[in-house]
Structure 1
């Protein structure tokens, strides 16, 4: 049986201020965000509620140490609503705050399924890649394990995903590029997942089209810079989130997590580093990628035998890829990361269109060196 779940409510707002006013955000609520994101949107006015700024507890992607520090700051406090305003780091952290702040993150990962949700959750994404505003997944780096782990339980669904396209207009180009490629990976991995359904594929296909057609328009203009209209990329990211929230991500994400955990590479960039090699391995092993190839044929107006070369060539225009060797990865490290993938990422590997052995995972990493 294949299920399809569509949560949460999705709303589009003209501005952050209009959201805060319409929702009557006040003293019973908590905003989790970055100061550089929030204050310009408020015109440097005082926020209407308590605010927790993530950057005061560490930089980069969410880690157990960072989240435990934030929990310690808010210990004993309970809020009616948690409002997450930011990218993937903010969103993944904020989801864990729905249980309050009296546990450490390790305990939440152990007991999360049995815990009661204490606060409503509103998520406003400020990048066009995470898709997490519509999923029940939180990804955290556990420092001692040198990898990332995911917690996927119903309590982590937001009550509302709030989209404000105007907030993406100031994204740095690099963040736009890596986050939108991340959304493309979400859509493509979920499209060929064994758990894919006609409904998840509907959202995934639309997301793939919006992202790749947007990239083609950029290339036609000869401009590797932030598009003037970001709404399509934001909507595509949310659609990809719905797709992978139901059908799952697979080996690209599984192999990216040790890269992020060991070398502190941003998530979207780590995905991009292994994206092509993973799909090349799928093709060599005989995985059926024809459902994706049909979509790509329509976008690139070419034969199926040419679509992958054309797509990755387009991605290289959007963002030059980086080799793992530049991070210091060698064959021995590739072996170590492959072991970590098999030990910690079975939740993702189960969504592969074809099974990958340890030797094949090592080979994927080596090809990226």
Structure 2
């Protein structure tokens, strides 16, 4: 029997009910309560292996300087009248290096000397009167008031002479400061004055370097160094035996510590040299990881975190680490890792919590 297409009113309720049931079933199937959450996909990450390196084999940069140094300045202001040395010149102890115009100081010295002679004469005259009055007082020809007055005059004249002598000594010292002389045998390393130049008191104009050489190094704070320790030092000019002169008690940012060491006398001052230190303990080692693998703690520069791959799984874990000194693109790790651990270099920022990874040697 053919269906009457114009008579569909009886089918509409049944069709609508079927659509509603189907939609409800699909919504139930897609809801979080209906299915477990999807499993994150496995992502590739670039990894690096924590390596072990001898502490002594790491390069350090040091600056060589003279152990005996002096920065010379005129103690009085003036105009430069003579400069007798230049940079690089060898000087002996007491040698005259430079001189400023001494005319003002000479005039002051001459005036103080004249004042001293005049006051000394007044003191001598007062002392003679005191002597004459003493004889008169013994014979009863002088009063106590006269005796008291002459004694006060002698005392005042003596004080004036003492003040004049101090003034002359100061003038003589100022006159002597118009000359710069070498305090020890050495070499001129700095010259900052020319004839005719006006210089102020205390302005450094000549620098001298004497005997001995030393060098400051920034080394990892964990390096076992102590004052007096003897080390083998290798630099651009060859190898030498060095001695630790001073170890800073303060650990600086990045975990480094400053160490003062002796250096060979043949090494030039003022040059930055690359050296290697070899401690007595050959087993002293450092753990190094690429700096890219570390997420630094801005509030604590010696602290950070890395993503480490556990040996028995593929899900990276955040591991806190204590950092040491930088060695180029590597950083020393003092705690939190061991040699052979694998840490994530790149790709870790895109990982979800609990997401498995595939370690690779490079990322495409």
Q: Highest CA radius of gyration, 1 or 2?
A: 2
Query: Structure 2 length as normaliser, TM-score?
Result: 0.21
**Higher strand content, 1 or 2:** 2
Greater RCO structure (CA 8 Å; 6+ sep): 2
**Higher helix content, 1 or 2:** 1
Query: Structure 1 length as normaliser, TM-score?
Result: 0.21
